[in-house]
Chains A and B, each alone.
Chain A
Amino acid sequence: MEQTTRRFFVFLTLIVLLLAAIFFTGDYRSRYTFAEDLLLIGLSPVQGFFSQLGWRIYRFTQAVRDHNALVEENKALREELAARDNLRYQLMELQKENYRLRQMLNFKERVSYELLPAQVIARDPSQWFETITINRGYADGVERNMAVVTSEGLVGNVTKLARNSAQVLLLTDSRRAVSAMVQRTREPGAVGIVEGYPEAKGSLRMVNIPPEARLQVGDTVISAGIGGIFPKGLIIGHIVETGSDQYGLLQQAIIRPAVDFNRLEEVFVVLQLPYEE
């Protein structure tokens, strides 16, 4: 009986200690401890190996299953690529024109993101948190809060760092919030907050949108660049549903993310945000 009581007190003490550990390490620590770092340094290549193995098997099984569909998709992609090339040239022309106009207005400009390519080596398998692990860490110049993107759009930001790996909090996590606006209108007063929406797995929710903002289903939502973490103008997703919030005072919208968070393989870390003077 005495032993059982002693065990119970040890158990209670451990609960208190763990609660304290969660409190002190939750949002404040950006780096792992030395011991954790050491373990992760050894394990990152192993994670990378298993991740690559998984993707290879996945691609092979998909290719076997969808051979005909792939031929069709390949054709469609080639056509899309040609169209995009065309669009890219138009964009380059516009950039040049933009540059010339800015020069005329005496604007000094530096519009280049410094991007670091990274490979996704793990993903949190528990359904409670939306995080991935990438194979770049503080040794590569990655810092806490740096934005992570793909060519499709915004992915999330770096939260914890080891020497050669880092944890990235995805946009779909309910702890994440990003200031955003609708690309079509770009109304300065119509900035809302995009957050994870766990009740609809894989979707995002834009809240706190002023009632006068003009929203339409299909509108593209982009980052507003407020807060200094996420670059302005990156695509977050497209509106699939609009409505009022629970109090009927503000608007909210459900967003389908531009990035397929279930198929993230390679990403870019934004080492330096562009700035204008």
Chain B
Amino acid sequence: MSELEINKHNLSLYLMVFLLSLFILVLEGSFLSVFFKSAKMPDFLLVMLVCLAFIWGEQTGIVLGLLTGLLQDLFFGPALGFFALAKMVVAYLVGLTAREVYKDQLAGPMLIVFMATFVHEFIIFFLRLLFWGHGGDFFYFLDVLFLRKAAYHLLLAMLFYPLLYRAGRRGFFHVFQKQ
């Protein structure tokens, strides 16, 4: 595949992820928030991002992390770049580890989603502490947010990863690419 084809392919992927992220953010913030109390709301955007970064690798992961994170900042972020930073770092790290793990087996991505949730939440905890000086009680967050959220996400990955993996193989993310 030539470099031009890769770029065209990636642009189509980025556009699809942009639209999916918009849909997820509107759904999470405006629809699901009515039913879930905030402490029990899974981060569907993070699960999707980790699955995609795992499939496409660290270079695409960085762009997808920036894209999804900046969108989240636009909707709900306390500052521009806050979620973008957390999500970009997570996607980069997931992309790096993806080289060593089989992509067509579910156990690997599930474990990675679990660990990525920890890293993501820890980065947010650290950024809150750095910029606002009050991270809160770390052990409270470790229990309530990190562990429980990671467990939710592990279960969600069982559903999301096969869907996204198959969608990727069947060209779902190439629909905007001219043949």
Contact = CB atoms under 8 A, between A and B. Distances in A.
Interface residues of B, number: 50
A122 B30 contact: yes
Interface in B120-170: 124-125, 127-128, 131-132, 134, 136-137, 140-141, 144-145, 149
Interface stretch (A14-22, A106-114, A251-259): A14-22
B79 A51 contact: no
A24 to B, nearest CB: 8
Interface stretch (B48-56, B83-91, B105-113): B83-91
**Main DSSP-derived SS at the A contact region:** helix
Given A54-B32, A125-B41, A198-B136, A26 B78 contact: yes
Given A125-B43, A175-B132, A50 B31 contact: yes
Contacts, number: 142
Contacts of B1: none
A40 B74 contact: yes
A201 B75 CA distance: 22
Contact of B33 (A19, A25, A40, A54): A54
Nearest to B128: A128
A199 B136 contact: yes
Contacts of A55: 34
A124 B76 contact: yes
Interface stretch (B8-16, B20-28, B171-179): B20-28
B64 interface: no
Contacts of B34: 51, 54-55, 57-58
Given A40-B74, A198-B140, A7 B59 contact: yes
Nearest to B62: A11
Secondary structure at the B interface, as helix, strand, loop or mixed, is helix
Given A54-B31, A133-B29, A198-B136, A127 B88 contact: no
A25 B75 CA distance: 14
Nearest to A10: B62
Contacts of A48: 30
Q: Considering residues A11, A27, A49, which has the most beta carbons from chain B within 10 angstroms of its beta carbon?
A: A11
Nearest to B59: A7
B80 interface: yes
Contacts of B38: 123-127, 130, 201, 262
A19 B26 contact: no
Contacts of B31: 50-51, 53-54
A162 to B, nearest CB: 9
B85 A18 contact: yes
B33 A127 contact: no
Contact of B74 (A39, A124, A131): A39
Nearest to B78: A129
B114 interface: no
A127 B39 contact: yes
A122 B92 CA distance: 29
Nearest to B86: A18
B28 to A, nearest CB: 4
17 contacts: A7-B58, A11-B92, A15-B88, A21-B79, A22-B131, A25-B79, A46-B26, A50-B31, A54-B35, A57-B34, A124-B29, A124-B38, A124-B75, A125-B28, A126-B72, A127-B149, A201-B39
Given A10-B62, A50-B31, 5 more contacts: A17-B81, A127-B144, A131-B78, A133-B75, A167-B76
Interface of B: 22, 26-39, 41, 43, 58-59, 62, 66, 72, 74-76, 78-85, 88-89, 92, 124-125, 127-128, 131-132, 134, 136-137, 140-141, 144-145, 149
7 A-B pairs with the lowest CB-CB distances in the bound complex, closest first: A21-B81, A54-B34, A122-B29, A26-B79, A50-B30, A18-B81, A124-B76
